[in-house]
Amino acid sequence: MKKYILVVSIFLSLFYSCSETESNRSDYTGGALGTSYNIIVISSVEIDLQKDIDSVFTSINHSLSTYIPESDISRINEGDSTVVVDKMFQEVFNLSKDIFIQTRGFFDPTVGTLVNAWGFGPERQITMDSLKVDSLLQYVGFDKVTLNTKNEVIKTNPNIFIDFNAIAKGYAIDRIAAMLDAREVRNYLIEVGGELVAKGKNTIKGKPWVVGIDDPEMLVERKTKILINLNNRALASSGNYRKYRIDEATGKKYVHIVNPKTGFTQISNILAVTILAKNCATADAYATAFMAMDLDEAFKLVIENKTLEAYIIYSDEAGKTQEFLTKGFKDLVVE
């Protein structure tokens, strides 16, 4: 599922310390996966990890990028049924299948065909009506895609288009974290396109990693809504608060995204969602899924899933902005 919605911005606490410490700080910045990345590593010795970081992004692109014609996923989407997918593809596929089930189909990596048709993607928008939606729905549904014992992708319809963009960025962060763990790095903060994984703390400052979540109602200037401590957790945010309409009768704000279950644009009063999870791929996927749900459905899923912590910004019946935080999320807020 492509994430054709604006992501809630996150800023990092990137302040340098002038005092001498026993720790060595290395910063890595650049562009990858169609966005930017910032990685802070604090170690006991000086190390150069740029080649390792580049290698992770290259591997992710080769396996999962729909923008590279030679990638495994592009070849599969073009109809090549002989592609034997690698371990990364398998892990993303299996996790996507699990979250597809857990979210009752609201997270669906096959929804890209509908997203494009409604004009929310890079393809040309077409005129949509009930008949057109019904004709496209036959290509949507992650339950129509499986992996066989040879690790080949089997589709019930050859026109099904698979897109892991709503989970691949988070997965890339997890792979970088795994690489740093293998290098025995104990303190790091990884940010790619506003999604994060943190481990340990900022030992130079002697404080936890602190990240800020932007106020979704600030359309021009950025303003921090809340600050939270992030330690040994992953964070991902989604929001399409800048793409909304206002009901002239009620004054309520509504945002439009595609509901993969109905095929129509979903009217929702959820403005932004931030999810904390054990890994960033999971947080990434669930943050996307919540934006496709009604508010009541989102609350229900948060209550059901004890592995997630959530921060939901929404518009109430009177059109006023409200906040919902799970207890675990609230405990991390910096007062």
Residue 264 has what pLDDT? 84
Q: Name residue 201's amino acid.
A: K
pLDDT of 67 strictly over 50: yes
The string of pLDDT tens digits covering residues 243-264 is: 555 556 666 544 557 889 998 8
Q: What is the token pair recorded at 130?
A: 């009930």
- Rounded CA separation 102/130 (Å): 28
Q: At residue 285, does pLDDT exceed 80?
A: yes
103-156 residue pLDDT tens: 999 999 999 888 778 776 555 555 678 898 999 999 999 999 999 999 999 999
Separation between Cα atoms, residue 258 and residue 277, nearest integer Å: 24
- Asked whether the predicted pLDDT for residue 97 surpasses 90, the reply is yes
Q: 64-165 has which fold?
A: T-fold (1.10.3980)
Listing DSSP states for 17-59 in one string gives P-S--S-EEEEEEEEETTEEEEEEEEESS----HHHHHHHHHH
Answer whether residue 220 shows pLDDT above 80. no
Does pLDDT of 213 surpass 70?
Answer: yes
Give the pLDDT mean for 285-311.
Answer: 93
Q: Which residue has the higher pLDDT, 15 or 58?
A: 58
Mean pLDDT of 12-17: 45
The domain locations on the chain are: 64-165
Task: Summarize pLDDT for 23-66 with one digit per residue, the tens.
Answer: 799 999 999 999 999 999 999 888 999 999 999 999 999 999 99
For a pLDDT cut of 90, what percent of the chain falls above it? Answer: 65
- Picking from 11-15, 65-69, 144-148, 218-222, which range would have the lowest pLDDT averaged per residue? 11-15
